[in-house]
Amino acid sequence: MQDRLTAQLGEMVLTGDAVLPYCRDWIGDVQSSALAVLRPRTTAQVQDCVRVAAALGLGIVPQGGNTGLVLGAMPDAPDRQVVVSLERMTAIRNLAPNDFAIEVEAGAILQDIKDAAAQVGLYFPLSLGAQGSCRIGGNVSTNAGGINVLRYGMTRELVLGLEVVLPNGSLFAGLSSLRKDNRGIDLKQLFIGAEGTLGIVTAVTLKLVPAPTAIATALVALDDLEGAIALYRHARRDCCDLLSAFEFMPPLAFTLAREAMPDLPLPMDPGHPAYALIEMSGSGLVDVDDLMARFLERALEGRLARDGVVAQSRAQAANLWAIREGMNLGQVQRGRHLRTDISVPLSQLATFVSEAEAAVADVLPGAVCVSYGHVGDGNVHLNVLPGPGADADIQIARAKTAIDAALDRHAGSISAEHGIGRLKRAAFEARLPPAQARLLQAIRQAVDPEGIMNPGCQITPRPATSGSVQGA
Ligand SMILES: Cc1cc2nc3c(=O)[nH]c(=O)nc-3n(C[C@H](O)[C@H](O)[C@H](O)COP(=O)(O)OP(=O)(O)OC[C@H]3O[C@@H](n4cnc5c(N)ncnc54)[C@H](O)[C@@H]3O)c2cc1C
């Protein structure tokens, strides 16, 4: 089979040990394998890859930066699947400042897109910890969120147009910088968040906004999560759309960040019960430094905050963000642990977290909960570091059951921003109402009747049927 792939696709094909780095997840928990990794350089080559793989009856697993946290880009049938990596399709095709838009190939790294926009005084707002490695096709396919969602929305709100290779090799040519286009159903939305189950995104037109000319960043000490939510509500009212990030962190964030980055300076007493990292940004004549100073003054006077430091330079701001990012790395270094990506209505967030943490403490007295996240979006990562003794996997399963039960009581989502992938498929399907399940299956069968696109991702594959809606 590998010989036939190489005969038809030539130097695009990697086999043997060369596939292994593409088959290891970002955390390092899972090492899988694949028949081959295909690395096209152009959209036409992606079409060739899809046609050849389909003719050989192989499943196709699209891959961007492989930073997804739910095993969506991880093959699970090594002898029947190929990875199609977009890593060689990184071109910025058209930077169009007059349209406040940029057209890029799907393999472009998110940070490179942000840098390209910055060169013309514009800003691409999608911002997340993996932005130096994740690729825009992956961001689109997971509808990524990140720290700026409360101001600019999820990736879906930043996509103007898409080019997608469909499962029969034909092209959905939907690149466009039109802001308004109400010609019937907006089909590109189907592919956003589809996690590679309906086709391979090869290029994207993205919205750009004026680059903030001033950014104020502050770290604030608080009594608890409830206090963070109260402060967030004030910030929304007092600072309106100038509020661009509001992240909640427990005191353990400092310990975890220091474990990952031993030289990281601590800007504040790490002994408070809770912290929020707040960012306000503006362009033009707006004075965000003054706004932040007055907001914090009022918060301290009103006892909404215990203490606060405002970054005085870009380096200090970067240091504050390094605590937030460093705590992720610190958790990885502690070994196997439960990671969640949960959302509940903001009004229920504090109650949910305390109920879920208590439920975990009941079943696993030695485990440590680390709850943090994008509070403004009602999004919390309630992670659990297993305690000593019992097997980590058993503890992770117990903690997950306890958290899911609390989440279901609050009608929350098991995936606020990371998607379903393979990791959350069973939990997703167990909660899927029948009408939505039928609709999802129908869409998938209509677009991909042979079931070749990312089989096993999001929903359990059904037997193939005949009849495709794709063009030639
Ligand atoms: C440190 C860290 C911080 C993170 N923070 C956030 C965060 O704040 N918010 C957030 O939302 N996520 C976050 N993530 C998760 C991850 O970065 C995002 O899901 C990201 O969008 C994945 O992009 P990728 O290029 O790495 O995609 P991959 O991991 O390669 O793929 C993800 C999914 O998309 C599919 N896919 C990839 N490329 C294509 C394509 N061209 N066409 C079709 N399907 C494709 C894959 O098959 C897979 O199902 C974080 C991850 C890490 C490691």
Q: How far apart are the first and last CA of the chain?
A: 26
Ligand 1 center–CA 138 separation, angstroms: 5
Positive or negative, the CA dihedral 455, 460, 465, 469 is: negative
Question: CA 349, 350, 351, 353: dihedral to nearest 10 degrees?
Answer: 80
pLDDT at site 80? 95
Domain 342-422 listed as CATH 3.30.70.2740: yes
Each residue's pLDDT tens digit, 81-134: 999 999 999 999 999 999 999 999 999 999 999 999 999 999 999 999 899 999
C-beta of 23 in contact with ligand 1 (< 6 A): no
Q: Return all residues near 40 (Cβ < 8 A) that are at least 6 apart.
A: 12, 46, 48, 49, 84, 86, 88, 89
Give the whole-angstrom CA distance, residue 448 versus residue 166: 8
Q: What is the pLDDT averaged over residues 131-144?
A: 98
Is residue 470's pLDDT more than 60? no
Instruction: Identify the three-state secondary structure at position 247.
Output: strand
pLDDT band at 1 (very low <50, low <70, confident <90, very high): confident
Closest CA to 83 of 32, 11, 30: 32
C-beta of 377 in contact with ligand 1 (< 6 A): no
What mean pLDDT, rounded, does the chain reach? 94
C-beta of 66 in contact with ligand 1 (< 6 A): yes
C-beta of 72 in contact with ligand 1 (< 6 A): yes
Candidates 3.30.465.10, 3.40.50.1110, 3.30.300.30, 3.40.50.11540; CATH matching 92-210? 3.30.465.10
Each residue's pLDDT tens digit, 249-260: 999 999 999 999
Choosing from 24, 67, 88 the residue with most ligand 1 atoms within 8 A of its CB, the one to mutate for a pocket test is 67
Q: Structural domain boundaries of the chain?
A: 92-210, 214-333, 342-422
DSSP letters for 440-452: HHHHHHHH-TT--
C-beta of 424 in contact with ligand 1 (< 6 A): no
pLDDT band at 463 (very low <50, low <70, confident <90, very high): low
Is residue 375's pLDDT more than 50? yes
C-beta of 145 in contact with ligand 1 (< 6 A): yes
Choosing from 63, 171, 325 the residue with most ligand 1 atoms within 8 A of its CB, the one to mutate for a pocket test is 63
Each residue's pLDDT tens digit, 352-372: 999 999 999 999 999 999 999
Specify the residue with its C-alpha closest to ligand 1, atom 44: 196
CA of 168: how far to CAs of 246, 432, 472, in Å? 44, 28, 8
pLDDT at site 285? 83
355-384 core/surface letters (b: 16 or more CB in 10 A; e: else)? bbbebbeeebeebbbbbbbbbbbbbbbbbb
pLDDT at site 462? 62
CATH, range 214-333: 3.30.70.2190
**CATH fold match for the domains 92-210 and 342-422:** no
CA of 141: how far to CAs of 132, 191, 247, 411, 471, in Å? 17, 7, 24, 25, 22
Looking at the chain, the whole-number percentage of residues with pLDDT higher than 90 is 90
Each residue's pLDDT tens digit, 154-167: 999 999 999 999 99
Q: Which two tokens stand for residue 364?
A: 């696993």
Q: What is the pLDDT averaged over residues 3-31?
A: 94
CA of 264: how far to CAs of 192, 218, 253, in Å? 37, 17, 12
Q: What is the pLDDT averaged over residues 274-301?
A: 93
Is residue 58's pLDDT more than 90? yes
Ligand 1 center–CA 307 separation, angstroms: 35
